[in-house]
């Protein structure tokens, strides 16, 4: 279920790190089992985005919610190859193939300051990927809620999956 963006648990996190915080006005806060997280649209420097899902059913729901909405072009579900790994809903351009945190940070539209802080050392607080793991109560199985959506925004590096600036 879509709720107001300011209700998303990671709203402040993204507000403080995006190069263009105005993207938050077009973001969708997707309610999961115990809270909501953001799906931030493409625009400006942000060329792509993704969110993870706890199960296939949730991934299909997320994709369907995003499909056809402005800022979420080519919404698609990438199935996980492993049972203990989350499915990923992507939109916009695919991320760079290189395992370069700076390139990934720019692709996802983070500010240069946020990227530099991330590259300089480990984050001081949990990122959206950590939040999602705690929100999706039925991780790996079909959730019980009618509109249950498991979602999390990417953190920076492909090499450090779910790492954030």
Instruction: Give pLDDT tens digits for 36-66.
Output: 889 999 999 999 998 888 888 888 988 999 9
What pLDDT sits at residue 36? 85
* CA distances from residue 28 to 32, 34, 38, 83, 125 in whole angstroms, order as listed: 12, 16, 6, 27, 23
pLDDT at 80: 81
Evaluate whether 136 touches 54 at the Cβ level (below 8 Å): yes
Strand ranges (DSSP E) for 1-153?
2-3, 28-31, 36-39, 48-53, 76-78, 87-92
Q: For residues 7-22, give the mean pLDDT.
A: 94
Question: H helices of the chain, where?
Answer: 11-17, 56-66, 101-107, 112-120, 128-135
Residue 123 is predicted with a pLDDT of 57
Q: CB–CB of 123/164 below 8 Å?
A: yes
Give the tens place of pLDDT for each residue, 105-163.
Answer: 999 999 999 999 999 987 555 444 333 333 344 333 323 232 333 333 333 333 333 33
């Amino acid at each position: 279920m879509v709720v107001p963006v300011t209700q998303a648990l990671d709203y402040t996190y993204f507000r403080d790190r995006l190069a263009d915080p105005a993207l938050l006005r077009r973001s969708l806060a997707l309610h999961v089992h115990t809270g909501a997280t953001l799906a931030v649209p493409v625009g400006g420097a942000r060329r792509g985005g993704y969110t993870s899902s706890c199960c296939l059913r949730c991934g299909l729901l997320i994709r369907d919610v995003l499909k056809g909405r402005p800022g979420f072009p080519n919404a698609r579900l990438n199935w996980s190859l492993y049972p203990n790994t989350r499915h990923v809903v992507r939109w916009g351009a695919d991320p760079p193939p290189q395992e370069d945190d700076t390139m990934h940070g720019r692709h996802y539209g983070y500010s240069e300051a946020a990227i530099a802080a991330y590259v300089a050392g480990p984050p001081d607080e949990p990122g959206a990927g950590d939040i999602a793991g705690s929100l999706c109560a039925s991780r790996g199985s079909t959730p019980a809620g009618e509109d249950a959506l498991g979602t999390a925004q990417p953190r920076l590096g492909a090499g450090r999956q779910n790492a954030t600036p």
